[in-house]
Structure 1
Amino acid sequence: MKKYKLYCVFVLLLLCVKAKAQYLSDYTGRPYYLKTNDGIQGSALLTDNWLNGTVYFVNGKTANAILNYNIYADELLFKSPRDSSVQAFVDPVKGFSVKGIALEESDQTDMNFSSGFPAVDDQTPKTFYQVVGDGRVKLLRYYKKKVLESTGFASQVTTKTFMTANSYYLFANNQMTRVRPSQKTILAAMSDKGDKMQEYIKTNKVNFKSDAALAKLFSYYNSL
């Protein structure tokens, strides 16, 4: 009986090691030095909390990981399941999703980010955008971290602070158009279903400052 119990424990440990090895083999990373002492106040990251998420690689594979997004460097990071060290993905990443996020800039708690869109302004096809509204016409939100320098009134000391800036883009017919979400701009993009969209906006009293409301609006439009 004792030998049987030891055998069961051995098999269980073997299975755990095998499962962990399979999990680690889903993706590989390289060490990433996340600057925290360079004198800039605030954070370069999307959120202060690291979140459970899913990564979508260019090669079609997916993996679950603990994620954060370095907006300043436009790079997706993860914590190694082995030692919790911060790393960057080796394989090219197409997009990622996170759940339970809380941002001042957006009221969406579940967010999807994607790349591969045409170059526009200072962005390239590798740039990640938050996909606010998905479908044949997409509403994308671009986040950017800027370093703001300021000098005190009675001091010569310059303070550097990370500031978050963001802008919206409509993606349709393989073209990117920068917009400020409003009833006028959104209806112009949805003119082929104008009557139905006007009715939806009126009935649901759409708040164009709410990403959650805009997501529902685009979902309705893309379902028509």
Structure 2
Amino acid sequence: MKNLLFLFIFLSSGAMAQYEILPFGDVIRTPIKEKKYTDVEGTPYLIDKWSKGKVTLINGKHYQYDSLKYNLMDDKLIFVDAGKMMYFAEPVAKFELMDSKSGNYLKYKNGLPAIDALSNTSYFQIINDNKAGLYKRINKSITESKQYGSAVVIKAFHTTSSYYSLKNGIFSKIVPNKKSILALFDDKENQFDEYLKNQKVDFKNDADLDKIFTYLNK
């Protein structure tokens, strides 16, 4: 009986160790086939090339990868294993993708409240994750157009961005401008005016928005 108990514990610990090494379950043996948009100009991905990145699964485990892509059309993260494209079997709570142009990591997470046509599994880019946070949602869709006098239909990926704020449990869509930001920090109008006098601010620049929210969250 003791030998059987020892064998059970040994096998159980071995299975757990294997899970640490291969955290993706059956998806390892179920590669996905990339959907080709051969007649569409552009790319369905946030970054077309494979990127280095970091992944946090919903169970709290962390992993690093050399080959990640975020498909904006499917709102899913994919990776490469043994030359094959895979989805994650365990839900991904957070991920970071390296932007080769800047060398910085673009940070994403889900779990935010459902809004518009988006659910709590939808991913948002983290611009500022403070008490009053700012998040960006990037969408891609396929548009069709014709040049003047031509019967040829041109299909292309169209990218749109929206900004959302989470404060006191309220998740709302905002326009990144002075008026909308002041509505979130209505008790800091004087400080904000002073900040804008001393800082050159581009409300269309995510780095500037991050600095504004960091300052106003103090």
TM-score (norm 2): 0.82
Provide the C-alpha distance between the structure 2 equivalents of 1:101 and 1:94, rounded to a whole number of angstroms.
23
Give, in angstroms, the shift of residue 99 of structure 1: 2.3
Give, in angstroms, the shift of residue 204 of structure 1: 1.5
Contact 1:116–1:127 under 8 Å retained in 2: yes
Residue 11 of structure 2 is matched in structure 1 by none
1:88 maps onto 2:83 in alignment = no
Provide the C-alpha distance between the structure 2 equivalents of 1:26 and 1:52, rounded to a whole number of angstroms.
18
1:75 maps onto 2:70 in alignment = no
Residue 100 of structure 1 is matched in structure 2 by 99
Q: Which amino acid aligns with 2:94?
A: G
Give, in angstroms, the shift of residue 194 of structure 1: 2.9
- Paired positions, count: 197
Q: Which amino acid aligns with 2:185?
A: M
Name the SS of the counterpart of 1:208 in structure 2: coil
- Aligned mate of 1:130, from 113, 125, 137: 125
Q: Label 1:49 to 1:221 Cα distance change in 2 as closer, same or farther (>3 A).
A: same
Q: Label 1:101 to 1:192 Cα distance change in 2 as closer, same or farther (>3 A).
A: farther
Give, in angstroms, the shift of residue 37 of structure 1: 4.4
Which ranges in structure 1 are unaligned for 5 or more consecutive residues? 1-20
Contact 1:113–1:131 under 8 Å retained in 2: yes
Contact 1:108–1:211 under 8 Å retained in 2: no
Name the SS of the counterpart of 1:218 in structure 2: helix
Map 1:110-129 onto structure 2 (within 5 A): 110-129=105-124
Residue 176 of structure 1 is matched in structure 2 by 171
Contact 1:32–1:88 under 8 Å retained in 2: yes
Provide the C-alpha distance between the structure 1 equivalents of 2:20 and 2:61, rounded to a whole number of angstroms.
13
Map 1:1-224 onto structure 2 (within 5 A): 24-28=21-25, 29=27, 30-65=30-65, 66-80=67-81, 83-102=82-101, 109-222=104-217, 224=218
Share of identical aligned residues, percent? 31
Provide the C-alpha distance between the structure 1 equivalents of 2:99 and 2:45, rounded to a whole number of angstroms.
16
Q: Which amino acid aligns with 1:173?
A: N
Q: Which amino acid aligns with 2:69?
A: N
Name the SS of the counterpart of 2:216 in structure 1: helix
Q: Label 1:74 to 1:190 Cα distance change in 2 as closer, same or farther (>3 A).
A: same
Name the SS of the counterpart of 1:49 in structure 2: coil
Q: Which amino acid aligns with 2:58?
A: V
Provide the C-alpha distance between the structure 2 equivalents of 1:189 and 1:219, rounded to a whole number of angstroms.
13
Give, in angstroms, the shift of residue 114 of structure 1: 0.7
Q: Label 1:40 to 1:24 Cα distance change in 2 as closer, same or farther (>3 A).
A: farther
Provide the C-alpha distance between the structure 2 equivalents of 1:201 and 1:22, rounded to a whole number of angstroms.
51
Task: Give RMSD over aligned pairs.
Answer: 2.1
Q: Label 1:22 to 1:193 Cα distance change in 2 as closer, same or farther (>3 A).
A: same
